[in-house]
């Protein structure tokens, strides 16, 4: 099937072929290459310190395309729908990887399409020779994005049915028999409480807010490229360049609302969360912070300082010490028995 130019949520469009690159573009390319080397080096330094054997197991699913000799690990809430469409288009399974007027319905169709997958038993021989890439996002931003997408208007009935009542059973025990209608008022604080509860009780997290290091296991797959949501457009185009399709398609800034909207509202949502739970989010996703070089964002530092007049380092250290004391107390208690 012949490839066509694609338009994905108005961020991919056909561009004219240019014979030469101007100096500014050359410098930008060099900066992106240097940044990418830093990201990969940082991730591999992180992996060198990991001794847990589960960190080095192959991810549950990786998508590959033989046409472009590429392997992609999809992480929900990080341009996942877009890149899935591109992978399908690479393999000729979609004429054009674009979203139709009914965006939610078309997204669902994309996620249920037959992808070429790599598992421990099948197609693993492609890993050493194919170009491997993934896209990641700041853990605090991604967690909020998952909540907004699944539990705010327009309401996601699938997730309200799947998790909504469970959330209310934990956060509103006074509701003896919560109904689906009650789930329309779930707050971000209740959602965070639910995530923490799941981790504390060994309950597997939903893929949309599961830790990125567990989804893609960067210590098992030596990814050639690590894209980030903050630099989605440039990073996506860098992948296309590497795959040799830069003259065919291009990601553009048109329609990219990520930086404009999400950043402005994130602080307000996290202002609803207690200091301890802000720390617990960090603790749960610590591997993501460390593997992909993320620090505490400005809005978290601002919230912590306005409440306590202390830095987030001081507050987080207090909670870490508290957690260590609990573990030590439990250990001493078990030794007595």
| Res 253: pLDDT | 66
Mean pLDDT over residues 136-158, rounded? 92
Query: Mind listing the pLDDT tens digit for each residue in 42-68?
Result: 999 999 988 776 667 788 789 999 999
Q: What is the dihedral of CA 279, 284, 285, 289, to 10 degrees?
A: 60
Half-sphere exposure of 87 (CA within 13 A, CB side): 28
Residue 72 in domain = yes
pLDDT-derived band at 81 (thresholds 50, 70, 90) equals confident
Residue 296 in domain = no
Is the bond into 154 cis (omega within 30 degrees of 0)?
yes
Residue 115 in domain = yes
| Res 10: pLDDT | 43
Determine the structural domain holding residue 226 and report its residue range: 23-138+210-256
**CB-based burial label for 13 (10 Å; 0-12, 13-18, 19+):** middle
Is the confidence at residue 150, as pLDDT, over 80?
yes
Is the confidence at residue 97, as pLDDT, over 60?
no
Residue 225 in domain = yes
Is the confidence at residue 178, as pLDDT, over 80?
yes
Q: What's the pTM? A: 0.86
Is the confidence at residue 5, as pLDDT, over 60?
no
Q: What is the CA radius of gyration of the chain?
A: 22
| Res 111: pLDDT | 74
Question: Cα separation of 218 and 215, whole Å?
Answer: 9
Question: Cα separation of 168 and 183, whole Å?
Answer: 7
- Identify the CA nearest to 288 among candidates 224, 208, 214: 214
Residue 9 in domain = no
Residue 35 in domain = yes
């Amino acid at each position: 099937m012949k490839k066509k130019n694609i338009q994905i949520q108005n961020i991919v469009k056909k561009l004219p072929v240019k014979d030469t690159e101007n100096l500014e573009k050359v410098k930008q390319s060099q900066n992106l290459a240097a940044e990418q080397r830093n990201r990969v080096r940082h991730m591999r330094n992180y992996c060198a310190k990991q001794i847990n054997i589960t960190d080095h197991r192959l991810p549950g699913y990786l998508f590959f395309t033989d046409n472009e000799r590429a392997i992609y690990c999809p992480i929900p809430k990080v341009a996942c729908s877009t890149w899935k469409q591109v992978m399908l288009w690479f393999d000729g399974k979609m004429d054009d990887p674009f979203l139709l007027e009914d965006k939610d319905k078309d997204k669902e169709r994309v996620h249920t399409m037959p992808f070429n997958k790599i598992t421990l038993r099948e197609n693993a021989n492609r890993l050493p020779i194919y170009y491997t890439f993934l896209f990641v996002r700041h853990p605090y931003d991604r967690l909020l994005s998952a909540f907004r997408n699944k539990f705010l208007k327009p309401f996601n009935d699938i997730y309200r049915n799947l998790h909504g009542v469970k959330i209310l059973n934990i956060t509103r025990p006074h509701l003896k028999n919560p109904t689906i209608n009650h789930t329309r008022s779930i707050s971000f604080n209740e959602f965070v409480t639910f995530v923490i509860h799941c981790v504390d009780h060994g309950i597997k997290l939903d893929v949309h807010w599961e830790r990125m290091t567990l989804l893609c296991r960067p210590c098992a797959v030596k990814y050639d490229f690590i894209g980030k949501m903050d630099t989605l457009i440039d990073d996506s185009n860098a992948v296309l360049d590497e795959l040799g399709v830069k003259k065919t398609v291009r990601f553009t800034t048109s329609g990219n609302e990520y930086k404009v909207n999400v950043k402005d509202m994130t602080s307000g949502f996290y202002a609803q969360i207690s200091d301890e739970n802000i720390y617990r989010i960090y603790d749960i996703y610590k591997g993501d912070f460390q593997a992909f070089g993320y620090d505490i964002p400005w809005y978290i530092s601002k919230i912590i300082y306005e409440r306590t007049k202390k830095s987030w380092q001081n507050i987080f250290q207090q909670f870490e010490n508290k957690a260590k004391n609990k573990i030590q107390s439990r250990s001493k208690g078990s030794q007595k028995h």
